[in-house]
C-alpha cells in the first residue's frame, strides 16, 4: 500500500442529502486500490460556522478551535475527491465555506471531482475547478457525474449506472499519479 492519503470529502450536510451515498460509493470503488489510502471526511462532522476567522487564511494564524481541527484534518492528506451536489448552478455553500477556511493546507495537492445534480453537477465542478486553481490544488481531468434522473431512483435512492465504475477507475489513476508527484514537490519545498 502506498503512503498516499486521499480524503473523500462529503460536500453536503443537508438533511436527506444524497452526498453520503455517493461518497460511500466512491469509497467502495477506491477500497480495492493499492495506490493510496482513501478515507471519508464528512463535513457534517466538522460544524464550521460561516467563516469567522478575523485574519485571512493566507496568514495561517487560525484562532478558532474548529478552524485548527479542520486545518489539521486537511493538512494530513495528499489529495482529495470532492463529492459535491449542484445547488443553483454551483457547489454547496457548506463545501465552499469549508474550503475558504484554509489556505496553505490545500497547496500542492491533487483533487478530483464527483458530482450529482440535474445536469450531473457539471456546473458545480466548473466552479470547484476555479476555486482549486486559486488554492494551488492540481485537479485532474477525469470526473464522475451522476444525474438525479438516471442514477437515483425517485431522485433519492442512489443506483448508479455500471459505466460509472470505469470513469471512477480512471479518476483514481489520475488522482494518485498527481498526488504522488505533488507529494514530492511538497517534500522539496520543506
Tens digits of residue pLDDT in 136-184 = 999 999 999 999 999 999 999 999 999 999 999 999 999 999 999 999 9
* Residue where the block lists cell 478558532: 64
pLDDT of 1 over the 60 cut = no
Helices 122-134 & 93-100 angle (0-180, nearest 10): 10
Strand order in the sheet with 109-117: 37-42, 5-10, 79-85, 109-117, 137-147
pLDDT of 74 over the 80 cut = yes
Answer for the pair 9, 94: CB distance below 8 angstroms, yes or no: no
Average pLDDT for residues 58-69, to the nearest whole number?
Answer: 97
**pTM reported for the whole predicted model:** 0.97
Distances (CA, A) of 169 to 100, 110, 189: 29, 16, 30
pLDDT band for position 69 (cuts 50, 70, 90) = very high
Task: Tell me which CATH code domain 5-189 carries.
Answer: 3.40.50.360
pLDDT of 43 over the 60 cut = yes
Average pLDDT for residues 115-129, to the nearest whole number?
Answer: 97
Number of H helices, E strands in the chain: 5, 7
Neighbours of 149 (CB within 10 A): 11
> What is the percentage of the chain residues whose pLDDT exceeds 70?
99
Query: How high is the pLDDT of residue 190?
Result: 83
Grid cell digits, residue 85 = 451536489
β 152-153/137-147 pair status: unpaired
**Angle value at C-alpha 110, between 105 and 112, nearest 5 degrees:** 120
Give the integer Cα–Cα distance in Å for 31 and 51. 33
Query: How high is the pLDDT of residue 2?
Result: 76
Amino acid at each position: 500500500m502506498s503512503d498516499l492519503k486521499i480524503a473523500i470529502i462529503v460536500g453536503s450536510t443537508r438533511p436527506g442529502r444524497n452526498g453520503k451515498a455517493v461518497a460511500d460509493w466512491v469509497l467502495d470503488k477506491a477500497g480495492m486500490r493499492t495506490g493510496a489510502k482513501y478515507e471519508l471526511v464528512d463535513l457534517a462532522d466538522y460544524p464550521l460556522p460561516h467563516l469567522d476567522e478575523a485574519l485571512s487564511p493566507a496568514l495561517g494564524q487560525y484562532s478558532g478551535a474548529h478552524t485548527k481541527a479542520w486545518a489539521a484534518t486537511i493538512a494530513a492528506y495528499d489529495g482529495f475527491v470532492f463529492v459535491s451536489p449542484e445547488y443553483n448552478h454551483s457547489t454547496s455553500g457548506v463545501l465552499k465555506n469549508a474550503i475558504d477556511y484554509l489556505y496553505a493546507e490545500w497547496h500542492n495537492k491533487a483533487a478530483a471531482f464527483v458530482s450529482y445534480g440535474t445536469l450531473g453537477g457539471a456546473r458545480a465542478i466548473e466552479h470547484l475547478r476555479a476555486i482549486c486553481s486559486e488554492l494551488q490544488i492540481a485537479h485532474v481531468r477525469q470526473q464522475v457525474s451522476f444525474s438525479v434522473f438516471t442514477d437515483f431512483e425517485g431522485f433519492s435512492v442512489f443506483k448508479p449506472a455500471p459505466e460509472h465504475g470505469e470513469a471512477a477507475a480512471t479518476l483514481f489513476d489520475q488522482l494518485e499519479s498527481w498526488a504522488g508527484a505533488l507529494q514530492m514537490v511538497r517534500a522539496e519545498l520543506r
